[in-house]
Structure 1
């Protein structure tokens, strides 16, 4: 379970963002904050894995919160959620180590995609054995997969698609959506969407496993 602290000065926006996060499998909100000082205190108290951080806070700029957190040796990740559209704001967020930058207003699907990307990358960094530079590039998404240039359905990301592909390639037998989700670190529903996309493109084959009762289980194998 990935613990999240939501930081925004508008309590209604905070409520909406909290609801969004708690709809994503594998995430839970452990606290909220409406000021920079509250955010710093919240990280001290709750020790979240991820902070959804607004930049425009009443007492300080959001990236100043990051500076304070790093000075206090907190290693939580930061996902910036802001209405700031200036290129410098985005560049600054990247320099400060933000894992993503999401413009307000955004939909649930847009946030879910970023959270699942984060979970997939975090899971890979925690569990993957890095054997060569290609593995490093794959995990950090610094090189473009062939999937990045191919058309993906709305809501699917090249980064997560690359991780699902990697899971299929590594597994010599077939994988179910649930098994793939556990390997990659995303929800079963999301894993199923990526697997069905690969099947539709001819990159994966689907077989059915029949049990004693109920619908047969769909299982996937990489064939491209």
Structure 2
């Protein structure tokens, strides 16, 4: 059963599609609305009342922080995860003051989205299951300590498939490749391949490189470290 309804406020269609695809991988979250502008999001929020909003900072008719401030003043009972290319410390500081749940810097890795969802779910479980908290609970909520997790791999990453991917890279002596290349070799979707490659990136096995010699949007490639 779905726990959380999610709205995406993002004017970059490619980034919006990636976010929606990643969120759909977690059965606890459902995307109920995708908006491309500040004004459209106001209308969509009134209709769907989502618990969580993924929000870009630069919008065609406003700024993401202004949207969050407006929602806070109206008493909106929702949380925010920022998605932005803005690495400015002032923007980050303002976002923290507004109590955002997470801050994802573009280009966003799908594995980082999964982690943000996991952290959010853990936080909501903690605040809903206790009327009072001790120092241990507070430290966990404020991420002063890592939650215990008995899984060897994170949610959405199957250890057998991961082992096959690692073996493929070694056996075929791959150096640089795309998620499409891996998907075709492993007979899985590009989205699935990308999820596993981003996990390997987080483990330091590969690193993301952007190929700008495409005549358009840069191509995401992964290189063995």
Q: TM-score range by the shorter chain?
A: 0.5 to 0.7
1:79 & 1:39 partners in 2: Cα distance?
15
Q: CA RMSD in A?
A: 2.4
**Structure 2 counterpart of 1:136:** 138
Identify unmatched segments of 5+ residues in structure 1: 146-157, 166-176, 178-187, 194-224
**Structure 1 counterpart of 2:44:** 42
1:131 & 1:13 partners in 2: Cα distance?
38
Contact 1:52 1:80 in 2 (8 A): yes
Contact 1:6 1:29 in 2 (8 A): yes
1:26 & 1:109 partners in 2: Cα distance?
16
Task: Give the alignment's TM-score, normalised by structure 2.
Answer: 0.63
Partner residue of 2:74 out of 68, 72, 75? 72
Identify unmatched segments of 5+ residues in structure 2: 160-225
1:75 & 1:29 partners in 2: Cα distance?
17
Q: CA deviation at 1:11?
A: 2.2
Task: Give the alignment's TM-score, normalised by structure 1.
Answer: 0.63
Q: Specify whether residues 134 and 64 from structure 1 end up closer, same or farther in structure 2 by C-alpha distance, changes over 3 A only.
A: same
Contact 2:54 2:81 in 1 (8 A): yes
Q: CA deviation at 1:192?
A: 9.5
Q: CA deviation at 1:6?
A: 0.5
Q: CA deviation at 1:10?
A: 1.8
**Structure 1 counterpart of 2:173:** none
Q: Specify whether residues 88 and 122 from structure 1 end up closer, same or farther in structure 2 by C-alpha distance, changes over 3 A only.
A: same
Q: CA deviation at 1:4?
A: 0.5
Contact 1:33 1:39 in 2 (8 A): yes
2:16 & 2:157 partners in 1: Cα distance?
28
Q: Specify whether residues 70 and 109 from structure 1 end up closer, same or farther in structure 2 by C-alpha distance, changes over 3 A only.
A: same
Structure 1 runs (4+) deviating above 2 angstroms are 128-141, 188-193
Residues 20-47 of structure 1, C-alpha deviation per residue, up to 9 Å, x if partnerless? 1111231110001111111122111111
